[in-house]
Chains A and B, each alone.
Chain A
Amino acid sequence: MDLKELYQEIILDHGKNPRNLRKTENFNKDAKGHNPLCGDNVHIYLKLNENKKVEDISFEGHGCAISMASASIMTDLVKGKEEAQVKEIVNDFLDMIKEKEELQNKILNEDEKTKLMCLSGVKQYPMRVKCATLSWHTLTSAIDDFQKTVNTES
């Protein structure tokens, strides 16, 4: 995939019209993330029901198209999943962005995996990988109830 395809697919869809860019009412978990290099900020809100299923997930924040699109796609894909499944998807995505060629999880269907693989284009731009992973690290932080803001530089 070349750069223009990467940008066209993600930006014109999720980057410019992010899904779930709002604040969940009655959220029971949340976390903030910050990338000081570009000034990107994200705040993830999560509502887990009694069966530990993601009843709702949303985010607020601002950033580059890649970070906004990544948060948008992520929130879309983990909605309705169980907490353990969410963690598996997050780890799988982070592994893919770091080194693995393909996503390994069996939770997402092929369409959903294709959406995520759109973001794999950032691999060739190491400086931009943090843009793509900020919201994912922040989601982990929300699930695990870390109180500290996720910072890409520390």
Chain B
Amino acid sequence: MDIDSIKKEFPIFDNKVQNNDLVYLDSANSSQKPRVVIDRIYDFYSKEFSNVGRSVHYLAVAATNLYENTRTSVQRYINAKDKNEIVFTKGATEAINLVANTFGQKYLEEGDEVLLTELEHHSNYVPWHFLRNSKKIKIEFAEINDAGEITIEAIKNKITSKTKIISVTHLSNVTGAILPIKEIVELAHSKNIPVLVDGCQGAPHLKLDMQELDCDFYAISGHKMYGPTGIGVLYAKKKWLDDLPPYQGGGGMINEVKKTGISYGELPNKYEAGTMATAQVIAFNESIKFMEKVGIENIEKHEKELLDYGLDILGKNNSIKIVGNPKNKGGVISFTIEGVHPHDIATILDEDGVAIRAGHHCCQILHEKLKLPATARASFGIYNTKDDIDQLNQSIENCKKIFNI
């Protein structure tokens, strides 16, 4: 695969950052955008803009078709059974909030348990926390092992007769652990427990097949998939979308509105109230086509090579401690350097044009468990090369020099 020519499709790399070439190692936070995505937003607003799903004029019909084309692309990309199982949201956060809210309303009672893991991003904890107050539910956390993974046993240990839903990440944004989702779903379903998967880190990096995974809900973030911000996807099995109440009320999601009562629209309109992020949804189609063109298998292979190379190079550096050592790991390397706070590392690396993230990465539960106030994190995307990792390592050496390590 020709990474150099793929990288050329991302205009951000044409510009210098503080007089340096950009070494972008923060894709787990948000990925950069290929030209086709950026151009699509411009073209849509310049030549094709109209609101969707309402008016019958030419532009409205064309825009509606474009909007629905993205739904078809997402369905194809994740191999969902039905197009109407794809609901657009403003992000994965809203997708999880949608499920927590509607499932919580209908199925959770005082004393019921929601099972999460210690790896969860705040966006897969806080929405459930709301139900602690409103419904007096309990939240349990499956525990990580020393490698920073969640095993099927860790899940099994926390399932009780009170467990009503399991909500887990597909790929940890800190340790990089890939969870055994299929086994978790099989186990949960044998006990009639539905499973939500936070796919923020899964969807951009792993081949997805909803029918094979068989999970009940899967949350996707568009901006981590080389797509625009403000767009996410909730995949949900049709039986759940038919069964659960609507999330937000407004235009577009209704069937008939009378003074005495309201009936709701059919899927997927039922969950898409108000004017949606139309341009972003339409441009998101280009992100999916871009990923299909590169090929998810190639993306996986490339990022695995980068990961192995990065673990090797940074592993040889004695002052670096890598956080977690999962057997099945995605393109994320979190690390600490004895004697240098991660925020100092990130600020100093930034001077060389090396963009990493430092902090708790929205995973305070995990950092508390690891007894680390913060970590530094390098994460990979399709545009990264081994040179980027060499530059990372060199900048870390420079940082150590500044700190006399």
What residues of chain A have their CB less than 8 Å away from a CB belonging to chain B? 3-4, 7-8, 11-12, 16, 36-40, 62-66, 125, 127-128, 131
Contact = CB atoms under 8 A, between A and B. Distances in A.
B347 A125 contact: yes
Given A3-B348, A3-B351, A7-B344, 20 more contacts: A4-B402, A7-B348, A8-B402, A11-B403, A12-B404, A16-B403, A36-B360, A37-B360, A38-B342, A38-B343, A38-B358, A38-B359, A38-B373, A39-B367, A39-B372, A39-B373, A40-B373, A65-B341, A65-B344, A66-B344
Nearest to A12: B404
A63 B341 contact: yes
A128 B347 contact: yes
B360 A39 contact: yes
B341 A64 contact: yes
B364 to A, nearest CB: 7
B374 interface: yes
Interface residues of B, number: 19
B359 A37 contact: yes
B348 A38 contact: no
A136 to B, nearest CB: 18
| Binding site secondary structure of chain B | mixed
Contacts of A40: 373
Contacts of B343: 38, 64, 66, 127-128, 131
Chain A to chain B: the 7 pairs with minimum beta-carbon distance, closest first? A39-B373, A64-B341, A64-B343, A3-B351, A64-B344, A65-B344, A38-B343
Given A63-B341, A64-B343, A65-B341, A39 B348 contact: no
Interface in B341-355: 341-344, 347-348, 351
Interface in B326-363: 340-344, 347-348, 351, 358-360
Contacts of A127: 343
A8 B403 CA distance: 8
Contacts of A128: 343, 347
A11 B344 CA distance: 10
Q: Which of A4, A12, A62, A65 has the most CB of B within 10 A?
A: A65
A72 B165 CA distance: 50
Nearest to A64: B341
B339 to A, nearest CB: 8
Most buried by A among B343, B347, B372: B343
21 contacts: A3-B347, A3-B348, A7-B344, A7-B348, A8-B402, A11-B344, A11-B403, A12-B403, A36-B364, A37-B359, A38-B341, A38-B359, A39-B373, A39-B374, A62-B373, A65-B340, A65-B344, A65-B403, A66-B344, A128-B343, A128-B347
Contacts of B374: 38-39
A109 to B, nearest CB: 29
Contacts of A16: 403-404
Nearest to A125: B347
A4 B364 CA distance: 30
A76 B386 CA distance: 46
A48 to B, nearest CB: 31
A11 B364 contact: no
Contacts of B367: 39
A3 B373 CA distance: 24
